[in-house]
A and B are shown apart, each in its own frame.
Chain A
Amino acid sequence: MATLSWDSPDGRREFQLGAVARLGRAPSNDVCLSSPGVSGHHARILRRGATWAIEDIGSKNGTYINDVQKAHHELQDGDVIGIGDVDLVFHGDALKRMGGRDDQPETKTLMWRADADDVPVPEAAPQSEADPSPEAPTRHATSLDSLFQGNVDYSRVSSVDSSVLMTGMIPRAGQDPAELGRRLRASYEIAQATAETLDPSEILDRVLGALFEIFEAADRGFILLVDPETGEMSTAASRQRTAAVGEDAGVSMTALEEAMRTRQALLCRDAAADERFSQAQSILGLGIRSMMIAPLVSREQVLGAVHVDSIRGIREFRQADLELLSVAACQVANCLANARLHEQVVASERLAAIGQTLAGLTHCIKNILQGIRGGAFILDKGLDKGNLDRVRSGWEMVRRNNAFMEELVYDLLTYSKERKPELAPTDVNAQCGEICELARERAKRNDVALVFEPDPALTTAEIDSKGVRRCLLNLVMNAIDACGEDGRVTVSTAAAGDDDLFRIAIRDNGCGMSKETLAKLFTAFFSTKGSKGTGLGLPVTQKIIEEHGGRIDVESTEGEGTTFTLCLPPHRTHTEGE
């Protein structure tokens, strides 16, 4: 027995705690406290197996445990409970030391003992001496919870380990081998579901399906999850045996919360006899006759609960069923926790990628802005001084940077979305020649010789000429930028050979690339060109060529130069969906 003691104006008082004790000012309370600051219905003390817990039931001034306000607290021997002006001392009991044996006669009603002073704590100590528990408390002890009054068959399963796993699998006396086979298959399905996918809703659906396989008595199954942010519970998956079965019926929140708070699975074989739930929410009212609830606990966190019930008859679920459900719940909880971790990782990677993209873009845009602003400044100066050369120079700068901006936007659009190349017959040699003409100004400014060597055997090919033009411009400009003194860039074409791919090669005699640079060549926003590079040219080029069903070959030697070769199919490639 556990007791509460406190000082009242009439002297010292003591209370023996039973299943539940209500504390408050109202006369209906088991412990009536008429001091200031005590609410009508202030708190209650519940016994759970071998322990007691106090809950504030919405009091105005709160419930304090050892001077700390608590909504809920598992009481320890010597705890001081502060309610209004009254300090009550909790005295732990012998039952706890005995391992919570529940075959003791229950104290169903609390004894109000105003004369407790003359009667020291009764029976408890001698009992514990006289009747030491013959067994250690078991992992899945069948304990008649004192909260259930009357003839309720009520079981719990707490922590799940491999021995519990086995009890669900091993045939017992009277267990049908066919049923065992079904259970094994369903367990396998649960294991598969949790291993094969990271999609929580798919996992939960498959698990509920498997649970229905295992438990023939199950008419409805629910998996409820706690929202990690709001703490609110909602149904994440549900299943009914038949459409007609209690679709509208809810679940008993009281029982669910109990399972989640205690982190213990619970089995209620006969809800009709379950007075505990009738106090808060009638399970019978929900149409439930028998039910099992297992909390989803992973890494110390309660993620939710699995609820399986039967509305057809009583005593449908057994202890072994509860054990099996606990194993499944444990597996599901770990899997859900992993799925959430995975989501977090993906989200943070996405954020990092967005950050990198924005930083790269900012850099490009700042350089373009510098060009436009610088050009405008030079232009203004030229106008002020009537210097036409300067006006022209500034205006060219503005135009060039405007073109850079257009290219950047084109590259971003190309790079960021799936697109199909718009294939049309194109004279490849003519297009290459045109690009060389466009690049000639840049080549001249950088003092680089630009040579075009077309293969007359190469005729028209079906390509997206706008896309390929972008690729060629990127590669030719890169080649010019890579050149140092005596720079030379050669653009050459070759008709399709044995592999049925025609080629456009851009060769420079520039600085070449290191292995490190080669490895990062097609990474977005990687650039060795300082302020001139967007870091998008090569990734975009690669994407366009791959959309054509072609490839890019790169050969580079440091100090000697680099050759990029575009290898493209001359005819429309038959890709998927065509």
Chain B
Amino acid sequence: MPSEAKTVLIVDDEPDMREFVQVALEDDGYRFVTATDGAAALALVAEEQPALIVMDVQMPKKDGLTTLYDLRQDAAAKSIPVILLTGVSEKTGVRFTAESVEEYMGERPDAYFDKPVDPEVLRRAVGELIGRAADSAAS
């Protein structure tokens, strides 16, 4: 176990979703910080220095895609892994993928999950991404 718990930032306007993500990850020793929209999340990033961000796409004020773009333009935050969760399909009529988000926004999330999200899949992805980020920081 690392000496200090890694922080996961959960960004979703829906309280049920925030709770779900938290419960899905709770056994892995993370510390959780939550925000209800993209603007609030950006404000929290510098202060909390999360190891990973799990974020909804459709949110009031600032949506997940714009927030992802803003994070990647910020030198201090650009290497934080971002997982997007969404039920969006109406814009294209097909499933969005990490690739299609990159095409659309110019920035690519580290993982992209379509709702309903399998909690085990989410947990594994979070673990892998945090581990990988720690490795590349160490090397």
B119: Cβ under 8 A from any A Cβ:
yes
Cβ–Cβ contact A374 & B56, under 8 A: no
Q: Which residues of B contact A367 (CB under 8 A)?
A: 87, 115
Cβ–Cβ contact A531 & B56, under 8 A: yes
Q: Which residues of B contact A528 (CB under 8 A)?
A: 60
Chain B residues 89 to 121 lying within 8 A of chain A, measured CB to CB, are: 89-90, 93, 114-117, 119
Which of A366, A369, A528 has the most chain B CB within a 10 Å cutoff? A366
Cβ–Cβ contact A400 & B23, under 8 A: no
Other-chain residue from B20, B26, B86, B93 in contact with A374 (beta carbon distance below 8 A): B20
Cβ–Cβ contact B87 & A381, under 8 A: no
Cβ–Cβ contact B14 & A532, under 8 A: yes
CA distance A390 to B27 in the complex (A): 14
Known: A366-B87, A530-B56. A355 touches B116 (CB 8 A): no
Render B21-48 as a binary contact track against A, CB cut-off 8 A, 1 for contact: 0011010000000000000000000000
Cβ–Cβ contact B89 & A530, under 8 A: no
CA distance A491 to B73 in the complex (A): 44
- Tell me the total A-B contact number using a CB cutoff of 8 A: 80
Cβ–Cβ contact A360 & B58, under 8 A: no
Cβ–Cβ contact A363 & B88, under 8 A: yes
Cβ–Cβ contact B24 & A377, under 8 A: yes
Cβ–Cβ contact B60 & A359, under 8 A: no
Closest CB in chain A relative to B122 CB, distance in Å: 10
A362: Cβ under 8 A from any B Cβ:
yes
Q: Which residues of A contact B115 (CB under 8 A)?
A: 366-367, 369-370, 531
CA distance A73 to B134 in the complex (A): 77
Interface size on A, residues (CB 8 A): 31
Other-chain residue from B12, B15, B20 in contact with A377 (beta carbon distance below 8 A): B20
Q: Which residues of A contact B57 (CB under 8 A)?
A: 530
Cβ–Cβ contact B89 & A371, under 8 A: no
CA distance A373 to B122 in the complex (A): 13
Q: Which residues of A contact B14 (CB under 8 A)?
A: 530-532
CA distance A531 to B16 in the complex (A): 11
Known: A381-B23, A530-B56, A530-B59. A366 touches B16 (CB 8 A): no
A318: Cβ under 8 A from any B Cβ:
no
Q: Which residues of B contact A400 (CB under 8 A)?
A: 16
Q: Which residue of B lies closest to A373 (CB)?
A: B116
Q: Name 19 A/B residue pairs within 8 A (Cβ), A-sorted.
A: A360-B90, A362-B90, A366-B115, A367-B87, A370-B20, A370-B87, A373-B116, A374-B16, A374-B17, A374-B20, A378-B20, A381-B23, A390-B23, A445-B15, A511-B60, A525-B90, A530-B59, A531-B17, A531-B58
Q: For the complex of A and B, list the 10 residue pairs with the smallest distance between their C-beta atoms, beginning with the closest.
A: A530-B58, A374-B20, A359-B90, A366-B87, A370-B115, A370-B116, A373-B116, A369-B116, A366-B115, A367-B87
Interface residues, chain B, with chain A CB atoms under 8 Å away: 12-17, 19-20, 23-24, 26, 56-60, 63, 86-90, 93, 114-117, 119
